[in-house]
Structure 1
Amino acid sequence: MKNPELRVERVEGDLQAIDLSSLLQIAAVYADAFKWDEWNEWTKCPVDGKFFGATTSPGEPSACCNEPLQLAYPAAETVEYIQCELTRPGASLFVLKDDVQIAGFSWAFKYASPGVLAREKYRTDQMRERVVGALAGVGITGSLYYLSETGIQKDARYRGRGVSNDFYRLRLERAQALGLPAVQRTTINSPMYMTARSAGMTQVIGPIAERRGSGCTVTGKFAGGIEDSELSPRVLFATTFGD
Structure 2
Amino acid sequence: MSMIRSFLVGLLSCCAFSMVQAQDSTKVAAPATAVTDTTRPAAESADALLSSLTDSIAAPPLLPDHMLLTQRVFWGKKGLVRLVGASPPTVEGREKELKVRRTMLSLHQIGGFVTLAGFIAQGIIGSQLYNAKGNDYSRIKELHEGMATAINIAYGTTALLALTAPPPAVGQRRGLSTIKLHKYLAIVHLAGMVATNILAHQIEKDFTLKPYHRAAAYTTFGAFAASIIVLKF
TM-score range, shorter chain: under 0.3
> Taking CA–CA contacts closer than 8 Å with sequence separation of 6 or more, which of the two structures ends up with the larger relative contact order?
2
Q: Which has the higher strand share?
A: 1
Q: Tell me the TM-score normalised to structure 2 length.
A: 0.25
